[in-house]
Amino acid sequence: MTDHDISGIYAITDPKLLTTEAALLDAVDTALAEGVRIIQYRDKLATNDQKLERAKAIHQLCKTYNALSIINDSVDLMMASGSDGVHLGQTDGASDLSHLTLSRNKILGVTCHDDLELARIAERFGASYAAFGRFYPSKTKPQAKPAQIDRLIEAKQHLSIPIVAIGGINAHNMSPLINAGADAIAIIDALFGQSDIQQAANTLVTTFNQFSTSVSD
């Protein structure tokens, strides 16, 4: 566990949508200015040098907005860039990384697909949040395994770490996920795939706030 706040709109970057460094940083800045709380730098195309430069720049932007910076797939890149945390999938070496979460206060997010048991294991080895998905068909990752909304209800009952929902989520379909217990909503295409990123971010943040307020009332 860490003492970071994992909630709200959790934006994930995609090099196929943000094809230059300038476009990436501009889009991240815009999303943060509209109230996005968490940015994950996810880039399976850039060189290592480019990734380091971009991860550092995103971390600095996040600091300016008091938001969190998370690196996809690589603990080494998280450490080298000074980012706040890492997101690991089941084949990315997600394992006991409590030395990072406890002594260095880094965030560790773990992909749990549709499986509460994976989330329980992740929680035991010190994960900061469990990510479930994909809840809707995803343009970005069409092959992602489907997950049921009931899993969020179960997870809310049995986990004490925050819950992130991912996969095909937009402003029109996020409310059942928030009602079922998602603390944060992870989004790629419905944000960075839009022609007006500022408008998209504003709508996503406003919608999340409306539905999460009605859940906590």
Ligand X SMILES: Cc1nc(C(=O)O)sc1CCOP(=O)(O)O
- 177 DSSP assignment: H
- Distance separating alpha carbons of residues 118 and 161, to the nearest angstrom: 13
Q: Residue 45 CA to chain centroid, in angstroms?
A: 19
| Window contacting ligand X (CB under 6 A); options: 73-81, 119-127, 167-175, 177-185 | 167-175
| Window contacting Mg ion (CB under 5 A); options: 22-30, 70-78, 128-136, 158-166 | 70-78
Q: Can residue 193 be called a binding residue for ligand LCLJCK34 (CB under 6 A)?
A: no
- Distance separating alpha carbons of residues 157 and 132, to the nearest angstrom: 15
Residue 189's H or E segment, with its range, is helix 189-192
* Structure tokens belonging to residue 32: 């943060």
List the one residue out of 77, 80, 79, 58 whose CA is nearest residue 67.
58
For residue 71, give the 3-state DSSP assignment: strand
Q: Can residue 85 be called a binding residue for ligand X (CB under 6 A)?
A: no
Q: Can residue 168 be called a binding residue for ligand X (CB under 6 A)?
A: yes
Q: Give the Å distances, CA to CA, from 78 to 83, 118, 215.
A: 5, 23, 33
Rounded least distance, CB 89 to Mg ion, Å: 3
Task: Give the nearer residue to ligand LCLJCK34 in terms of CB position, either 176 or 214.
Answer: 176
* Structure tokens belonging to residue 92: 């990315």
Q: Which of ligand LCLJCK34, ligand X, Mg ion, none binds 139 (CB below 5-8 Å, type-dependent)?
A: ligand X
Q: Which of ligand LCLJCK34, ligand X, Mg ion, none binds 109 (CB below 5-8 Å, type-dependent)?
A: ligand LCLJCK34
Binding site for ligand X (CB under 6 A): 111, 133-134, 138-141, 144, 166-169, 187-190
Binding site for Mg ion (CB under 5 A): 73, 89, 92
Binding site for ligand LCLJCK34 (CB under 6 A): 12, 40, 42, 72-73, 87, 89, 92, 109, 111, 131, 164, 166, 186
